[in-house]
Structure 1
Amino acid sequence: MMNVIWDFVRANPTVVMALCLAAAAWVSGAHFSKAVAGAVQLAIAITGIVATVGVLTTVYQPALRAMAQHTGIDLPVADVGWAPIATITWSSPYTLLFLGLALLVNVAMFKWHRTRTIDIDIFDIWHLAFTGLLALYVGAPVVVVLLFIVLLVVLKLMNADLMKPTFNDLLGDTSSLMTTTHLNYMINPLVMVLDRIYSRCSGWLDRYDIDAAALNNRIGFAGSRFAIGMYIGIFVGLLGRLGVGPMLVLGFTLATTLELFNIIGGWFTAAVDPLTQALTDKLNAHFAGQPFNIGLDWAFLSSRAEVWATANILAPIMLLEALVLPGNRILPLGGIMAMGVTPALLVVTRGKVIRMVVIGAVELPLFLWAGSLSAGFVTHATNALAGSQHLMAISAATKEGPIEQFLAITLGRCHTGDWRWLVITVVAFTVYLLLFAWYAHAMRRRNRDYTES
């Protein structure tokens, strides 16, 4: 009987995940009809993403081979952006396990007064789950991965509290309850180190900072997903010495898939809404009358023009870096608008665009390397979901949490029996925690300045 059930799970991962989501939403208090509707939307979103990725990889695989043949630049991994990666991650039942664990840690820390943040950004648990699934794929035991997830949840909640006064400053609202536990802000400690170096070497450039809103207005359509898709498609075609017709096919295909990824990502967010709302209602009822901050998606800062201006400037920089970076295997496509990079830059630099661009350009290799290293896992998971072994290698060039992905990989490798990986893992986690402790101290000092001013 167990063999029959296991065979069904392996053969129908989309159906199984949809049933798991419906059950989780219903148990959490969502109406049965809404829970079922969310499950159906999830299945549709997964099907749509898999089909769109199939189109993209079918068109780009021969073009990237031609580019490698004519230029020697071998980038066999296609960057599909955040939406397919989120869908792939949410298709795993482990994601619900990680979500339940994260909620338990959050409730415990709040009750013990170790955080003032209640995280209701249920959808974005996928970033954390992706990191855990990557560790499992590389070879880490489940228990070790669960402990790793607990550590990251604790640090993310601490970071949400540390960033709260800066968010108030950026939004111009000291009474706001909004903060975020989004994984993209866990690169803040490294960004702060680079910011200190920048202050010592090039701080005088702040006098010539850019008006981000004016820059965005000037860029206009030229910075849209459609336009960027056309630029990259034509660029790849030129490098591969393709004809005008195939070159335009590359451009229109990428432009279309970028738009589709964004639309289907919206379907996926809607699919998780019944579970999100049910859990939010439970948390609000449980902590009624207690003061707390609300953990949201990072997008409440999207009104800041610096985020988009920096992303537009970093897009061509990232493409050039990808072509020459040693060890990089991924061609930026779906994630070329570096939204996994710019929010942390905004928080640490407090909106200085030149600083954001310079520091962003320095840290972009981390994202490209992480995308290259995680490509095996992402491709394997996508092929399992699609029931196919013919998709080209895919990953995400600007997936949030590159450092956490490196840690996940070392965590898996250290269980292979090689003592060198054990040493590397211990050193890596030690440096990671010490750097976060230094960053926390610096942020508390910044927060005292906010209080005194």
Structure 2
Amino acid sequence: MFAQALHWFLGLGSTVGIPIIIIVLGLIVGLKPAKAFISGLTLSAGFIGLNMVVNMMAADLQPAIKLMVARYHMSLSIMDVGCGVGGPLAFSSSLGALAIPLTIAINLVLIWLGMTRTLNVDIWNLWQPTFIGLLVWAVTNNYIYAIIAIAGGFLLELFMADLMQPITGKFFKLPGIAVTHMMALSATFLAVPLNWLFDKIPGFNKLDASPEKIQKRFGILGDPLVIGLIVGVGIGLLAGFDISKTLQLGAEMAAVLKIMPKMISMFMESLTPISSATQKFTEKHLHGKKVNVGMDAALTVGHPAVIATSVLMIPISLFLAVILPGNKVLPLGDLTLYVYVFTLLVGAFKGNIVRSLIGATIYSIPMLYLATWMSPLIMKTFKLANYSIATKGQFSFELAGLWTNAIWIWMSQNLGIVGLIILIVVLLGLLFYLNVVKKYNLNQEEGK
């Protein structure tokens, strides 16, 4: 009965399920019912608007991508079916039903102990720790190990959310919000040290390629509308479109860069009262503790630098897939979802498009190799979850090739339960050091 109710609720999706959680959270933390309802409804409108824009972008780009693949004779043996199947895959298994109460309990205990400042309400993206559990199950054939791996994957997500919250709060201007989206968080572990390195390179460290600086220096050429037009026309030409279709794709990409930030503004409008009320509630009832509300990376994808970087990475990724020796994955299904995986990476580079493209290119290389390596395991997870997709031959998805997935596979494969326990102990230690010893987020807020 519980499992059926859970699957029904998850079936509501982000446009209904997450807003309901936000309304309930608002009521719990003392927001007036009318304000809580309006916050949830505004969030729902933001998700619907964002989905419309992302779906439009995907519908516009997919024909161009297919033509590029055919035009340049790209033939690789592993099909990228897209990470969009990840959520349904994870929650169609019994592990998906266990993941939600397990992670909620872990989250509340860690907040009470002061070991995390993130209160996760992004239930849908719990598919990512659950997917880690499925991968460990596929490696070890041990269901208990899989449950332990889900808990460990969630600890990793909380640690990354706490550590990278300043990027969310400062660059994306989302105070009181943390991103608990593992795909987006993972890339920051390359971007932050790489940005430090770029700052040490004479000449290069003076290059400011943010959309604002580009617009200031190049005038109309730096306007998001014009950037979108140029990118769209460029992809149309690479795909071999005629003039009419090329110009149409350019106009549609220009519209995406202009409309998406307006959709994202609705998220901020809906979450500001929830975040403020949550802070007051936790300060009053949890010994003065402050928390950040953990949300989907969708809140950050509307920045012009994020969209420009993500779209430009499409031809770059296809080129990498062809030239990298040993790679067998042909990126397809995940290409139009780059806005989610590269968004915090762009934030770590402070919106510098040149740095972001270099970082995203470097990050994509191990992603392709890991997706190739993981393909047999991913196919096995579909069998374990009794989930089938309409594709033949070997398949994977590029955005499964994250280091955050690979470390759990490697440790469980080589060290079994000992490896999983080591990772969990290390993560608990990191959470304790970050939030109890260093009081990291508090010091960031106070400018220390």
TM > 0.5 between the two?
yes
Task: Say whether residues 1:365 and 2:368 are aligned partners.
Answer: no
Task: Give the C-alpha shift of residue 440 in structure 1.
Answer: 5.8
Shift in alpha-carbon separation, 1:150–1:285, aligned structure 2, 3 A? same
Is the partner of 2:203 in helix, strand or coil? helix
Code of the residue aligned with 1:165 in structure 2: it is: P
Distance 1:314 1:199 in 2: 23
Per-residue deviation, residues 317-368 of structure 1 (Å, max 9, x unmatched): 1111111112211111121242343123134223222221111111111211
Determine if contact 1:80/1:335 at 8 Å carries over to the other structure: yes
Distance 1:314 1:332 in 2: 11
Code of the residue aligned with 1:105 in structure 2: it is: I
Distance 1:119 1:320 in 2: 37
Q: Which residue of 2 aligns with 1:108?
A: 109
Distance 1:357 1:390 in 2: 32
Per-residue deviation, residues 378-400 of structure 1 (Å, max 9, x unmatched): 3445577566896232222234x
Task: Give the C-alpha shift of residue 90 in structure 1.
Answer: 2.3
> How does 1:68-147 map onto structure 2 within 5 Å?
75-139=76-140, 141-147=142-148
Distance 1:447 1:346 in 2: 24
Task: Give the C-alpha shift of residue 435 in structure 1.
Answer: 13
Q: Which residue of 1 aligns with 2:349?
A: 349
Per-residue deviation, residues 21-54 of structure 1 (Å, max 9, x unmatched): 138999xxx99xx9xxxxxxxxxxxxxxxxxxxx
Code of the residue aligned with 2:165 in structure 1: it is: K
Shift in alpha-carbon separation, 1:100–1:206, aligned structure 2, 3 A? same
Task: Give the C-alpha shift of residue 299 in structure 1.
Answer: 1.5
Task: Give the C-alpha shift of residue 84 in structure 1.
Answer: 2.1
Distance 2:84 2:283 in 1: 32
> How does 1:311-350 map onto structure 2 within 5 Å?
311-337=310-336, 338-350=338-350
Task: Say whether residues 1:220 and 2:228 are aligned partners.
Answer: yes
Residue of structure 1 aligned with 2:447, choices 429, 441, 452: 452
Task: Give the C-alpha shift of residue 126 in structure 1.
Answer: 0.8
Q: Which residue of 2 aligns with 1:38?
A: none
Q: Which residue of 2 aligns with 1:190?
A: 190
Determine if contact 1:109/1:115 at 8 Å carries over to the other structure: yes
Determine if contact 1:170/1:350 at 8 Å carries over to the other structure: yes
Distance 1:333 1:435 in 2: 39
Distance 2:172 2:157 in 1: 21
Task: Say whether residues 1:408 and 2:394 are aligned partners.
Answer: no
Distance 2:429 2:282 in 1: 35
Task: Give the C-alpha shift of residue 446 in structure 1.
Answer: 9.3
Code of the residue aligned with 1:451 in structure 2: it is: E
Q: Which residue of 2 aligns with 1:160?
A: 161
Shift in alpha-carbon separation, 1:386–1:435, aligned structure 2, 3 A? closer
Code of the residue aligned with 2:127 in structure 1: it is: W
Is the partner of 1:452 in helix, strand or coil? coil
Is the partner of 1:374 in helix, strand or coil? helix
Code of the residue aligned with 1:318 in structure 2: it is: S
Matched residue pairs, number? 351
**Equivalent pairs: percent with the same residue?**
20
Distance 1:445 1:388 in 2: 44
Distance 1:231 1:435 in 2: 52
Determine if contact 2:211/2:224 at 8 Å carries over to the other structure: yes
Determine if contact 1:339/1:398 at 8 Å carries over to the other structure: no
Task: Give the C-alpha shift of residue 128 in structure 1.
Answer: 1.3
Determine if contact 1:82/1:396 at 8 Å carries over to the other structure: yes
Determine if contact 1:179/1:294 at 8 Å carries over to the other structure: yes
TM-score, normalised to structure 1's length? 0.62
Shift in alpha-carbon separation, 1:312–1:205, aligned structure 2, 3 A? farther
Distance 1:163 1:387 in 2: 36
Q: CA RMSD in A?
A: 5.0
Determine if contact 2:167/2:344 at 8 Å carries over to the other structure: no
Code of the residue aligned with 1:198 in structure 2: it is: F
Shift in alpha-carbon separation, 1:205–1:286, aligned structure 2, 3 A? closer
Shift in alpha-carbon separation, 1:388–1:223, aligned structure 2, 3 A? same
Task: Say whether residues 1:181 and 2:180 are aligned partners.
Answer: yes
Task: Give the C-alpha shift of residue 372 in structure 1.
Answer: 1.6
Distance 2:92 2:440 in 1: 42
Task: Give the C-alpha shift of residue 181 in structure 1.
Answer: 1.8
Code of the residue aligned with 2:328 in structure 1: it is: R
Determine if contact 2:187/2:342 at 8 Å carries over to the other structure: no
Show structure 1 runs of 5+ residues with no match: 1-15, 35-59, 236-243, 249-283, 417-421
> How does 1:294-313 map onto structure 2 within 5 Å?
294-313=293-312
